[in-house]
Amino acid sequence: MRLTLALLFGPIAICLGACSQGQDNLFLSSREQRIYANGLSIDVTNVENEAAARPFAKQYCNGLGKTAHFQKMELVGYHHVATMSATFVCD
């Protein structure tokens, strides 16, 4: 009986999940920021502005014993999807 119910409702649940609409965002609806550290600089992607990226940069630079300084915001493309990226330098 359980096997029959699983075989009946399993495909229905998968089909309904496939039909749900994701949110417009980078990395297939992920709201997570991506952090790319490069020595004394750090890029934080998937952020709206400098203020949203600053805590990540501050934590990284503090780990190096330095202070995070904002450098620029730029539009970054990834697999035909674009998002904003903030670049910080650790001084």
Token pair recorded at residue 60: 């990284």
User: Per the confidence metrics, is the pTM higher than 0.75?
Assistant: no
> pLDDT tens across 46-60, in order?
898 999 999 999 999
- Domain residue ranges of the chain, discontinuous segments joined by +: 24-90
Check if the beta carbon of residue 33 is closer than 8 Å to that of residue 86. Answer: no
Check if the beta carbon of residue 88 is closer than 8 Å to that of residue 61. Answer: yes
> pLDDT tens across 68-83, in order?
999 999 988 877 778 8
Check if the beta carbon of residue 40 is closer than 8 Å to that of residue 88. Answer: no
